[in-house]
Amino acid sequence: AQKVTQAQTEISVVEKEDVTLDCVYETRDTTYYLFWYKQPPSGELVFLIRRNSFDEQNEISGRYSWNFQKSTSSFNFTITASQVVDSAVYFCALSEAYSGGSNYKLTFGKGTLLTVNP
Amino acid sequence: KAGVTQTPRYLIKTRGQQVTLSCSPISGHRSVSWYQQTPGQGLQFLFEYFSETQRNKGNFPGRFSGRQFSNSRSEMNVSTLELGDSALYLCASSLPELSGTEAFFGQGTRLTVV
C-alpha cells in the first residue's frame, strides 16, 4: 500500500528565512509520480510540481526548489527567502502509474501548515 | 481557461438527509476524481470517473456514490448523512490520456451535517 508521511505538522518562520518541508513516501511500484500541492485558506489545492520516479533531477522554480532522492524515498520542498504569501498548508502526494498512464488516485500526506510571519 | 467548478460552495444538512454535490471539470478533461478532506483523516480518495464509468473507488461506505455525465460533469451523492460526513469535498479533473499528468482541483464544497 502507498503511504506519504509529512512529519512536520506546523512550521513557523520569519519572512526571508529559508524553509524546507519534508516528505517521505512508501510504494511497491517502480513507476510512480510525486506531487506537491499548496492549499491556501480558500480551500483550493494548487498544483506546484510533479516528478516521476525515473527522474531524480532536482528542480528549481523561482524561490521554490525540490529535492527528490529515491534512495531515501524522500521528496523535499524548499522555499528560499520565504514571504508572507507563502503561508498555507502544503501537501505532498503520491500516485501509482496504472495501465493507461492515468494518475487519477492520489495518496496525500497529512500536510504541513507553514506560517510566515512578517 | 476556466478551472474546475464545484457547486454549491457551502451546505448545511441534517443527519439522515441526503446531499448531491456537483463538479464541472476543465474543458477537455475527461477524468474526474473526488476527495474528502477532514481535520482527522486528511485528504482521502473517494472515487474516480472516466467516460461515465467509475474506474476506482476508495474505502468509503456505500452511502457515498457518484456518477459522470456525457459532458464529463460529475456529481457525488451522500445518503443518510452522518455527523462524521462533515468535511470539505474536493473535486479534481485531469487528462487521463497523459501519463503522470497533474490533477487540477476545485475550491471544494464545505458540507456541515448537524
How far apart, in whole angstroms, are the C-alpha atoms of residue A52 and residue A57?
10
CA gyration radius, chain A:
14
Say if B107 is an interface residue toward chain A (CB within 8 Å): yes
- Over residues B99-113, the mean pLDDT reads 88
Question: Which chain B positions have a beta carbon within 8 Å of A47's beta carbon?
Answer: 102-105
Say if A80 is an interface residue toward chain B (CB within 8 Å): no
* Model pLDDT, residue A55: 83
- Over residues B83-109, the mean pLDDT reads 87
Name the helix (H) or strand (E) containing A74: strand A74-79
Residue B99 has pLDDT above 80, yes or no: no
- Tell me whether residues B92 and A102 touch, CB distance under 8 A: no
* Model pLDDT, residue A57: 82
How far apart, in whole angstroms, are the C-alpha atoms of residue B28 and residue B3?
11
* Model pLDDT, residue A98: 63
Residue B4 has pLDDT above 60, yes or no: yes
Determine the distance from the C-alpha atom of residue A26 to the mean position of all C-alpha atoms in its chain, rounded to a whole number: 14
* Model pLDDT, residue A29: 85
Torsion angle of the four alpha carbons B107, B79, B42, B88, in this order, in degrees rounded to the nearest 10: 20
Distance from CA of A79 to the nearest CA of B (A): 21
- Over residues A24-32, the mean pLDDT reads 90
Say if A37 is an interface residue toward chain B (CB within 8 Å): yes
Question: Which chain A positions have a beta carbon within 8 Å of B59's beta carbon?
Answer: none
Model confidence pLDDT, tens digit, residues A66-101: 999 999 999 999 999 999 999 999 999 998 766 554
* Model pLDDT, residue A99: 52
Model confidence pLDDT, tens digit, residues A34-64: 999 999 988 899 999 988 888 888 888 899 9
CA distance to B70, B92, B114, per residue, from B84 (Å): 32, 22, 10
- Over residues B103-113, the mean pLDDT reads 95
